[in-house]
Structure 1
Amino acid sequence: MNEIPPGLLFALLALLIVISAFFSSSETSMMALNRYRLRHQAKSGHRGAKRAMSLLARPDKLIGVILIGNNLVNILASVIAGAVFTKLYGDAGLAYATIVLTLVVLIFAEVTPKTIAALHPEKIAFPATLVLRPLLWLLAPVVWLVSSISNLLAKLVGVETSDQGGEAEHLAPEELRSVVFESGALLPTKHKGMLLNVLDLDQATVEDIMIPRNEVVGVDLDCTAEDILQQLAESSFTRLPVFRGDINQVVGILHLRRAAQILRDGPEELTAETLKSHLIEPYFVPEATPLPTLLMNFQKQKRRMGLVVDEYGEVMGIVTLEDLLEEIVGDFTASPVPSEDEEIIEQGDDWFLVEGGTSIRDINRTLDWELPTDGPKTLNGLIMEHLESIPEGNMSLYLKNYLVEIIEVSDKMITQARVKKMER
């Protein structure tokens, strides 16, 4: 090597630094590739993505060939640098070579190429596969030996290497939720909200979205024909539960289109017996049914309404397909029953007047609050659980970081309260 001109050695050293930079950038870019985006590109026919996927199928072999090449190049570069600097500076040349080569390798062969590769992995990784694939074939025996020894050592310390793609490529629901939440401008805000709502369906049950029993509108067959006709005329709903005396004595579900067919022959045709002949069999839903299960059951049974029952078979309320869809897409229709009294009224200074029977989920959704939903389902229930009794008059209390002022109380429940979210 002493007979080789220093200029040629410096050129060879520069070439080795470039090759080292290639291996360093290849390693970082291949590991930084988004596996889901890569899979999509491969399915779309992208050749570079297909090559990258085949290499990443065995990451131990990929890392092996990159590290073998990189270490060979770096060791050869150190030998040449030592020879050149010894020739130029004598015995002190080895110290100079160590310092200079360390700085050069760090800057030009490690930090800079790896930084660029981390920022633009696809631009580096896809062309690099054109070199890495044949190199992996050429060095296959050495790579196999290194990978085998490495896998054996990993097993000795309790790391299983047989499934190298496996579980790491599958997202848990919470991880998928984070992906959607962090998608930024890639997804419209409305679509992002809908996807998050779908992922959150598992956290809610029928009891969370049902219309409570005291708000259910239906037809009582024990009433007179005139009263039944009035009930039908005043209804704003398409489907009504039909019962005898009490909602627990449900006979069936009436579609108003069928009621119109009866009335077409005259009001005198409207009798309990004729109504019963036009009823649909009621569909009962346990109150603890998860919302995804309810959606599948509605689809399977071709239903749009269910009667919610508790463990004793008592009817607790009703749930409709519209209620379920609103959990995903939000309120997409106006309220079928216009009301002069809104459940949530803004009063200024961050205060809100809320009806006691208002669902906590509706409050959280409307005001972007975080009232607890793992217990009582209404504001009245939440306050009474905290107080462990029905208050005798107006009072104030804290529910975590929410200040509540009880405004109106009946014999059975808290009918109105003012609520304000306090700063933590």
Structure 2
Amino acid sequence: MLITALAIVALLAMSFFFSGSETALTAASRARIHQLARNDDSRALTVEKLIADKERLIGAILLGNNVVNILASTLAASLLIQIFGEAGIVYATLAMTAAVVVFSEVMPKTLALMRPDSFALAVAPAINIIVVVFAPVTLAVQWLVTAMLRLFGVRASEEDARSGHDELRGTVDYLHAEGGVIKHDADMLGGILDLRDLRVSDVMVHRTQMLTLDIDLPADELVEQVLDSAYTRIPIYEGSPDNIVGLLHAKDVLRALARVNGEARAVDVKTIVYKPWFVPQSTSVHSQLAQFRKRHEHMAIVLDEYGVVEGLVTLEDIIEEIVGEISDEHDEPEDQLLNGIRRLPDGGYSVDASLPVRDVNRAMGWNFPDSRAHTVAGVVIDAAKVIPREGQEIDAHGFHFKVLERDRQRVARVLVRRIQPQDPQG
């Protein structure tokens, strides 16, 4: 009886080991384990090998766990029958259920979840041996399970196609929600992951906000506008703003001025204008960034499918998708969270309606939909179903919008307030 009791305790300890190992090896951070494996940690290499074939791993662990649990229950039943007779079966069932749940399931899984990486590294060598020993049985079980699933039209060999980008983005959002990553860092990581999903049209400066200069302007007037501008590179058109014929760099203007001893009228602008670079609006931001680096250029003119100028994109526009708004000494020193957004004393926000929805959501933590509109004006128009008049108010997406300014048919500025949920108690 003593030997049987000791055997039951040993079997429960083995069940503890199997349950904890299963939880630890499935919950361990693959990124941390991979980093340790790159540093030639033998246990991490073993964990990586085990995780790579999860079906075989789980099959071996479950097989071992079930064997020891059933054997422990059988021994407990035989022992208690000797002591209490037929009633021992009931006592054995109650006792083993409590023992297995507490000591072989809840306790080891809780410990494993507390420190999954270290637990996985500790048990990996022993589990690896068990997987090898049980390999013939687990392979036979896997084949049987696969055959049975096929009868129901389920193919076990088809892996769940998960996007690595989506998994990383979910991890970043989760860590930010838990307080493990500050908002700025989460925005930067999210911006990097979003580059492949964005098009140039999502980040470009729209044509209505472009500063362009007429090449036929008098040289002194053109030079004055370049020097008064806050921009380094300015598109130059001929005849119509849709006919961009070149780009003018402020440094080239200064060099030309120096050559003519500061006489602006003597500057031949046409000789210092360089050829523009045109790109389609459907170009991915990730690809455009690579092209900027390859060509050593900082600005491109964006065209639509008909070859009409839609806007321009710069290297800074793409970098801002990662690091957020970049301000320089020419930006207005206003108390604002984003250029174009001002906080009002009553708690609302005055928002430039031409701002991209993504930038506003990121800076303010709002959730305006960006699937059907690229700008705040587009969100307001989509909600109103018409081009709203000045002073019109719209409630949508949990916010109250009021059109403050209109420029002809364009919504120029809106007042935005978050709608406070009503107290259900009245």
TM-score normalized by the length of structure 2? 0.84
Deviation (angstroms), 1:45: 1.9
Distance in 2, matches of 1:408 and 1:117, equals 59
Distance in 2, matches of 1:138 and 1:408, equals 76
Match of 2:269 among 251, 261, 275: 275
Distance in 2, matches of 1:371 and 1:48, equals 47
Indicate the SS of the match to 1:182.
helix
Q: Which residue of 2 aligns with 1:351?
A: 348
Distance in 2, matches of 1:19 and 1:278, equals 81
Distance in 2, matches of 1:398 and 1:315, equals 34
Q: Would the alpha carbon gap of residues 8 and 403 (structure 1) be closer, same or farther in structure 2, given more than 3 Å must change?
A: closer
Distance in 2, matches of 1:82 and 1:41, equals 46
Q: Would the alpha carbon gap of residues 217 and 339 (structure 1) be closer, same or farther in structure 2, given more than 3 Å must change?
A: farther
Q: Which residue of 2 aligns with 1:96?
A: 91
Match of 2:246 among 231, 243, 252: 252
Indicate the SS of the match to 1:349.
coil
Cα deviation per residue 1:147-191 (whole Å; 9 max; x = unaligned)? 33333333333343446xx656x5343332111112245545432
**Contact kept? 1:390, 1:412, Cα under 8 Å:** no
**Contact kept? 2:149, 2:155, Cα under 8 Å:** yes
Q: Which residue of 2 aligns with 1:180?
A: 172
Indicate the SS of the match to 2:78.
helix
Q: For 1:163-174, list aligned pairs within 5 A.
A: 167=160, 170-174=162-166
Deviation (angstroms), 1:304: 0.6
Cα deviation per residue 1:100-135 (whole Å; 9 max; x = unaligned)? 233223322233223322333334333323323333
Residue 362 of structure 2 corresponds to residue 397 of structure 1: no
Residue 261 of structure 2 corresponds to residue 263 of structure 1: no
Distance in 1, matches of 2:412 and 2:127, equals 72
Q: Which residue of 2 aligns with 1:32?
A: 27
Indicate the SS of the match to 1:240.
strand
Indicate the SS of the match to 2:367.
coil
Distance in 2, matches of 1:79 and 1:415, equals 79
Cα deviation per residue 1:205-259 (whole Å; 9 max; x = unaligned)? 3333333334333442211222123223323321122222332232211222222
Q: Would the alpha carbon gap of residues 146 and 219 (structure 1) be closer, same or farther in structure 2, given more than 3 Å must change?
A: closer
Cα deviation per residue 1:51-96 (whole Å; 9 max; x = unaligned)? 2222233333323332333333233323332332233233433333
Match of 1:193 among 183, 187, 193: 187
Q: For 1:280-359, list aligned pairs within 5 A.
A: 280-334=274-328, 336=330, 338=332, 343-359=340-356
Distance in 1, matches of 2:273 and 2:151, equals 70
Distance in 1, matches of 2:119 and 2:402, equals 62
Deviation (angstroms), 1:11: 2.0
Distance in 1, matches of 2:9 and 2:373, equals 72
Q: Which residue of 2 aligns with 1:234?
A: 228
Match of 1:116 among 103, 111, 126: 111
**Contact kept? 2:387, 2:409, Cα under 8 Å:** no
Q: Which residue of 2 aligns with 1:3?
A: none
Deviation (angstroms), 1:270: 5.8
Q: Which residue of 1 aligns with 2:42?
A: 47
What percent of counterpart residues are identical?
30
Cα deviation per residue 1:282-315 (whole Å; 9 max; x = unaligned)? 0112234332232233223322111122333222
Between stretches 41-50 and 64-73, larger displacement belongs to: 64-73
Distance in 1, matches of 2:157 and 2:83, equals 52
Q: Which residue of 2 aligns with 1:125?
A: 120
Between stretches 130-139 and 297-306, larger displacement belongs to: 130-139
TM-score normalized by the length of structure 1? 0.84
Deviation (angstroms), 1:271: 5.5
Q: For 1:371-386, list aligned pairs within 5 A.
A: 371-384=368-381, 386=384
**Amino acid across the alignment from 2:115:** H
Q: Would the alpha carbon gap of residues 92 and 110 (structure 1) be closer, same or farther in structure 2, given more than 3 Å must change?
A: same
Q: Would the alpha carbon gap of residues 57 and 378 (structure 1) be closer, same or farther in structure 2, given more than 3 Å must change?
A: closer
The structure with the larger Rg is: 1
Residue 134 of structure 2 corresponds to residue 142 of structure 1: no
Q: Which residue of 1 aligns with 2:386?
A: 388
**Amino acid across the alignment from 2:167:** E
Distance in 1, matches of 2:377 and 2:84, equals 88
Q: Would the alpha carbon gap of residues 204 and 124 (structure 1) be closer, same or farther in structure 2, given more than 3 Å must change?
A: closer
Deviation (angstroms), 1:324: 1.7
Q: For 1:400-411, list aligned pairs within 5 A.
A: 400-411=397-408
Deviation (angstroms), 1:360: 4.2
Q: CA RMSD in A?
A: 3.1
Indicate the SS of the match to 2:368.
coil
Distance in 2, matches of 1:361 and 1:68, equals 51
**Amino acid across the alignment from 1:178:** G
Distance in 2, matches of 1:108 and 1:313, equals 71
Q: Which segments of 5 or more consecutive residues in structure 1 lack a partner in the other structure?
A: 1-5
Q: For 1:66-105, list aligned pairs within 5 A.
A: 66-105=61-100
